[in-house]
């Protein structure tokens, strides 16, 4: 098992991508566009922001500032999708850019300096910054989906009153080095 930093963060990002997808799969197309009020974001708007951020940050990651001149962050908070299909195409485009970039990196590049709005970050710091940012928004997607799914919601984590059974299964496994997502 590869235990390097890049392997670990790729698995983490893939995990959060899957949480967002599993949440969105549980609701109707119409509910992807639902907003609690005019000041709140819909899932579709959060997806637009995530996609814009991923494309900006990870296109030409090592050679260009992560805040691209072509990015219009404010427009990311305006509805631009008209269907689940268009939303998911955008979602996948952003994640593909991120994951392809991470897979192209090597451990010896982690201390290189990259810039986001002229602020220098090591490659590792820039990745960690996004590893904190994207799960924040994935949590919003999950929360909104859970609200609109109501009693039809299927948990994405350990179900209520199932912690004992989950722990029992985990503690019945041999101790070994593995990523927590390997047996989800």
Question: Beta strand pairing status for 119-122 and 113-116?
Answer: antiparallel
Please tell me the distance from the alpha carbon of residue 147 to that of residue 72, in angstroms, as a whole number. Answer: 29
Q: What is the average per-residue pLDDT within 123-130? A: 98
Domain architecture of the chain: domains with CATH: 5-154 (1.20.120.450)
Q: Which of 12, 83, 80 is nearest to 41 (CA)?
A: 80
Q: Which residues 6+ apart lie within 8 Å of 125 measured at CB? A: none
What pLDDT shows up at residue 111? 97
In this prediction the pTM is 0.94
As a whole number, mean pLDDT of residues 144-151 equals 96
Q: 98 Cβ partners below 8 Å, 6+ apart?
A: 13, 54, 57, 58, 130
Q: Tell me the percentage of the chain whose pLDDT exceeds 90.
A: 86
Whole-angstrom Cα distance, residue 67 to residue 53? 8
Residue 1 has pLDDT above 80, yes or no: no
Q: What percent of the chain has pLDDT over 70?
A: 98
SS (H, E, C) 11-24: HHHHHHHHHHHHHH
User: CA 152, CA 132: separation in Å to the nearest integer?
Assistant: 29
Residue 2: per-residue pLDDT: 60
DSSP-assigned states of every residue in 13-69? HHHHHHHHHHHHHTS-TGGGG--SSTTSPPHHHHHHHHHHHHHHHHTTTTTS-SS-T
> Tell me, what's the pLDDT at 3?
64
DSSP letter at 72 equals: -
């Amino acid at each position: 098992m590869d235990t390097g930093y890049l392997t670990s963060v790729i698995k983490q990002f893939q995990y959060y991508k899957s949480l967002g997808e599993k949440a969105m799969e549980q609701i109707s197309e119409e509910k992807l566009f639902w907003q609690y009020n005019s000041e709140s974001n819909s899932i579709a708007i959060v997806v637009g922001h995530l996609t814009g951020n991923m494309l900006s940050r990870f296109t030409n990651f090592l050679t260009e500032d992560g805040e691209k001149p072509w990015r219009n962050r404010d427009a990311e908070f305006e509805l631009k999708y008209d269907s689940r299909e268009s939303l998911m195409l955008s979602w996948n485009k952003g994640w593909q850019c991120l994951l392809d970039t991470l897979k192209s990196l090597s451990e010896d590049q982690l201390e290189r300096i990259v810039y986001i709005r002229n602020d220098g970050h090591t490659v590792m710091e820039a990745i960690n910054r996004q590893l904190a940012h994207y799960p924040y928004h994935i949590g919003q997607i999950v929360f909104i989906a859970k609200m609109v799914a109501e009693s039809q919601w299927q948990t994405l984590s350990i179900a209520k009153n199932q912690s004992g059974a989950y722990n029992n299964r985990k503690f019945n496994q041999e101790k070994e080095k593995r990523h927590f997502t390997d047996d989800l």
